[in-house]
Amino acid sequence: MHTEVLPLVSVDSTLFLQMINFGIMIILFRIFFYKPLKKVIEQRRRKLSHDIDLAETYKAESLALQHQSEGVLENAHSEAKEIVARALKIAESERERVLEEARESREKLLKQTNIDINRTLEGVRESLAKESIRRSIELAERIILKNIDEETSRQLIDEFINTLKVQDEK
């Protein structure tokens, strides 16, 4: 068996037809595949670029909002401190006012109590004086009624004085 060895490349009409066919294929690929593919790739590139720009914009906005919210939070903290300080100041002044009212009330009550005690003492003194006078009159009546001697009279006076001392102690 004899096999004929064909050359790898033969320059003949088929080679030219294959070259023309290959050129037509390249043109068709370029028209139908390369340009649409390039267009799709360019659209994706633009979309990605747009998305990256948009993401950077959102990032910048979010950082600005974060700084703004931190500022608002800091202002809120300082306002809260001011409110607490004002409330403490008001509470302190209210406490001082209440204490002053309590002092004034206590002073009024003490004055009124002293007045009442003095009135009561005066009443007790008057009552004691009246009681002393009444007892003196009783003693005098006994002395007169009994017409007793001087020793009996002294004994009655001593008893009277002792009863007065006992009443004073009460």
38-62 per-residue burial string, b: 16 or more CB within 10 A, e: under 16: eeeeeeeeeeeeeeeeeeeeeeeee
Say what the pLDDT of residue 46 is. Answer: 95
Is 0.75 surpassed by the pTM of this model? no
Mean pLDDT over all residues of the chain?
A: 85
Give CA–CA dist 25/31, Å, rounded.
Answer: 10
What are 10's two structure tokens?
């033969």
* DSSP conformational letter for 85: H
| Mean pLDDT of all residues in 106-119 | 91
Question: What token pair was written down for 77?
Answer: 């903290």
Beta carbons of 168 and 128 less than 8 angstroms apart: yes
Give residue-wise pLDDT tens across range 15-57: 788 889 999 999 998 888 888 888 889 999 999 999 999 999 9
What integer pLDDT is reported at residue 52 of this predicted model? 93
Structure-block tokens of residue 100: 């002053």
Return the pLDDT at 98: 92
Q: Give the rounded percent of residues in the chain with a pLDDT score beyond 70.
A: 88
